[in-house]
């Protein structure tokens, strides 16, 4: 009798975007606010990602595609040539040690404030405000404003911003791009019925609500090839005042559509650690597996045990890990070798705006990235 094939483990390689990733852990995209007011990548950011290159895939922090996309202080951008070129030191640093790195493309939409836009209102699918805590701008913490609904004829310009960002990212040496369509940012605002009350071809039916994401996926895929393009979705999330009664129908449709492109992977925040909207039973990775047949990445609240189980059991092909990577740059080696993990330290130090290593790139790394 032939021996049954051994189950895939979290520490097995996977082929993705024409590269062999050495394991199935991804560094989840995490905002770290080290780019400074010009929103440029820098040596500190390169060092931070190089330290974490032992993970199968690095997904960078969310990076804005246009000035209109900005909504946070000191997050990086990729809408000027200078910004694009600044990322080269990051991709070089990661490749030097054998890592693979995707850039996450971001438009915050209504999760922004006129302080970022010379007094102009932020934009969204519809003029519906975030009911929530508020937004940090150069003038301190501000209440959310009612955004301006994008005019139909402005939407091609938004798609063009993503495409231009993709060209710059390719030039800068990224291995691929993840389109951020989660967590209540612009693309999610278009997808979900809670935030999209439009009556044009970008609103109403789920087909119409998906149209903007479709155009972005197709535009960006023309630049890099669809096998270097990924999408992140948050079907269960409440962050940024999200959650729609028809979430299951919406995200099932979206995943089924995305299945047609041959994407690098679909990144689903299936876990509830970032908030749950409680509009019904949460969607699981199995729900996505049923309609999406490419590589599937789970995320949000996984630990070593649950991540290992998700891959060994076939629920996911990869698992993205966020917070534990902040204090454990060599997380994969620690998990694989049973080495102790550093505590999460003080979350207050994670988002300081100073461009210094403290709480950022000064955590112990027991071995070179690879
Ligand atoms: C944040 O900086 O709070 C943030 C950014 C991107 C996300 C979620 C949260 O997807």
Residue with tokens 């996309």: 69
Nearest CA to ligand 1 atom 3: 31
Nearest CA to ligand 1 atom 10: 183
> What dihedral do alpha carbons 339, 343, 345, 350 form, nearest 10°?
60
Q: What is the CATH number of domain 14-349?
A: 3.20.20.70
pLDDT recorded at residue 345: 65
Give the list of residues 6+ apart from residue 12 with CB closer than 8 angstroms, or none: 23, 24, 311
pLDDT recorded at residue 192: 99
pLDDT recorded at residue 352: 78
Distance 179 CA to ligand 1 centre (A): 14
Distance 186 CA to ligand 1 centre (A): 12
User: Whole-angstrom Cα distance, residue 314 to residue 100?
Assistant: 23
pTM, 2 dp = 0.97
Instruction: Report yes or no: 268 and 294 within 8 Å, Cβ to Cβ.
Output: no
The question of whether 253 is a catalytic residue gets the answer: no
pLDDT recorded at residue 1: 66
Instruction: Report yes or no: 214 and 190 within 8 Å, Cβ to Cβ.
Output: no
* Catalytic member of 72, 185, 202, 253: 185
Residue numbers of the chain with a pLDDT score lower than 70: 1-4, 345, 367-370
Give the list of residues 6+ apart from residue 258 with CB closer than 8 angstroms, or none: 217, 231, 266, 292
Instruction: Report yes or no: 129 and 144 within 8 Å, Cβ to Cβ.
Output: yes
Give the atom of ligand 1 at the shortest distance from the alpha carbon of 75: 2
Q: What is the pLDDT of residues 336-361, one digit of tens each?
A: 999 999 987 677 777 778 888 988 99
Residue with tokens 């913490």: 141
pLDDT recorded at residue 369: 47
Q: How many CB atoms lie within 10 A of CB 1?
A: 3
Instruction: Report yes or no: 263 and 54 within 8 Å, Cβ to Cβ.
Output: no
Distance 2 CA to ligand 1 centre (A): 48
pLDDT recorded at residue 212: 99
> What dihedral do alpha carbons 195, 248, 225, 173 form, nearest 10°?
70
List all residues whose CB is within 6 A of at least one atom of ligand 1: 31, 62, 72, 182-183
Tell me the best of 27, 29, 31, 137 to mutate to test the pocket of ligand 1, counting ligand atoms within 8 Å of each CB and taking the most.
31
Chain centroid to Cα 221, Å, comes to: 17
161-176 as b/e: b if 16+ CB within 10 A: bbbbbbebbbebbbbb
Nearest CA to ligand 1 atom 1: 31
Kindly list the domain boundaries of the chain, sorted by start residue.
14-349
Distance 311 CA to ligand 1 centre (A): 25
Q: What is the pLDDT of residues 154-189, one digit of tens each?
A: 999 999 999 999 999 999 999 999 999 999 999 999
């Amino acid at each position: 009798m032939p021996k049954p094939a051994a189950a895939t483990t979290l520490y097995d390689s996977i082929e993705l975007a024409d590269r062999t990733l050495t394991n199935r852990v991804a560094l989840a995209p995490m905002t770290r606010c080290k780019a400074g007011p010009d929103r440029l990548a820098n040596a500190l950011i390169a060092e931070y990602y190089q330290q974490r290159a032992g993970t199968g895939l690095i997904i960078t922090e969310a990076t804005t595609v246009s000035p209109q996309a900005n909504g946070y202080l000191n997050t990086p951008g990729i809408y000027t040539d200078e910004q694009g070129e600044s990322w080269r030191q990051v991709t070089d640093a990661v490749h030097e040690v054998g890592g693979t790195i995707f850039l996450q493309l971001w438009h915050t939409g209504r999760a922004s404030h006129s302080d970022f836009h010379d007094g102009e209102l932020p934009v969204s699918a519809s003029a519906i405000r975030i009911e929530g805590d508020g937004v940090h701008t150069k003038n301190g913490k501000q209440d959310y404003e009612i955004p301006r609904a994008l005019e139909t004829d402005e939407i091609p310009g938004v798609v063009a911003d993503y495409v231009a960002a993709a060209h710059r990212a390719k030039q800068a040496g990224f291995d691929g791009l993840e389109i951020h369509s989660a967590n209540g940012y612009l693309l999610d605002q278009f997808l979900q019925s809670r935030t999209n009350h439009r009556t044009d071809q970008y609103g109403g039916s789920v087909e119409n609500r998906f149209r903007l994401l479709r155009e972005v996926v197709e535009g960006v895929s023309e630049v890099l090839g669809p096998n270097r393009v990924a999408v992140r979705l948050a079907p269960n999330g409440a962050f940024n005042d999200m959650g729609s009664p028809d979430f299951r129908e919406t995200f099932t449709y979206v995943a089924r559509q995305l299945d047609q492109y041959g994407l690098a992977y679909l990144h689903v925040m299936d876990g509830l650690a970032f908030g749950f909207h409680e509009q019904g039973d949460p969607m699981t990775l199995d729900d996505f597996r049923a309609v999406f047949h490419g590589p599937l990445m789970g995320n949000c609240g996984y630990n070593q045990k649950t991540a290992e189980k998700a891959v060994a059991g076939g629920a996911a092909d990869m698992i993205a890990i966020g917070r534990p990577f902040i204090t454990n740059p060599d997380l994969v080696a620690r998990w694989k070798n049973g080495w102790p993990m550093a505590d999460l330290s003080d979350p207050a130090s994670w988002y300081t705006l100073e461009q210094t290593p403290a709480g950022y790139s000064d955590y112990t790394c027991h071995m070179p990235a690879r």
